Amino acid sequence: MKAITLAVAAMAAAGCLALTGCSKKAMAGPVECGKQTSATQPVMITVNPGPRVSQDECVVLPLTKLIWMNAKDNSTQFELKFRTANPGGQNQPLKVPSQLQGGSYTVNIDATQLAPGERERRYDYDVVVDGARMDPAIIIRKAN
């Protein structure tokens, strides 16, 4: 019986791989704020010295992967401090330090889904670099 179950599972997996609807969609490369056309496109927010970010207000679709990365010529660690809530959803930390990845400091957050009937939600935060801070915002907004 166990052999039959494994054989059926293997055939189901092979069939699923042959169908395009069963495989995960390939994630597109990151785009700048304002250039996103689907939630499968990660959005890149560049953290520059000063500090300043590439967009003071970044509007994204629900479930978008958000990527904050320091500028290519700057390898300084930074921290995100969300004021009231993290765009990643409940139980996510308000303070998120960047981590060194591939030579750049980066923060990755997957944006939460909006509640039924909710059109948008704003997340104000600070970017802190070497004690200096600025206050941009992430806005999660449903597509029109």
Average pLDDT score over residue span 108-136: 94
Residue 3 has pLDDT above 60, yes or no: no
Token output for 101 = 């990845």
What is the Cα 48 distance to its own chain's centre?
A: 18
Strands 43-48 and 65-70: parallel
Residues 75, 78: Cα–Cα separation, whole Å: 9
Query: In sequence order, which ranges of the chain are alpha helices (DSSP H)?
Result: 2-18
Strand 95-97 to 99-101 pairing = unpaired
| Separation CA 142–CA 39 (nearest Å) | 10
Query: What's the rounded Cα separation, in Å, for the pair 50 and 72?
Result: 14
Work out the percent of the chain whose per-residue pLDDT is above 90.
60
Burial class (CB in 10 A: 0-12, 13-18, 19+), 73: exposed
Higher per-residue pLDDT: 85 or 55: 85
Band of pLDDT at residue 88, cut at 50, 70 and 90: very high
- pLDDT tens for 24-80 read 445 568 999 889 999 999 999 999 877 788 889 999 999 999 999 998 766 789 999
pTM of this prediction? 0.77
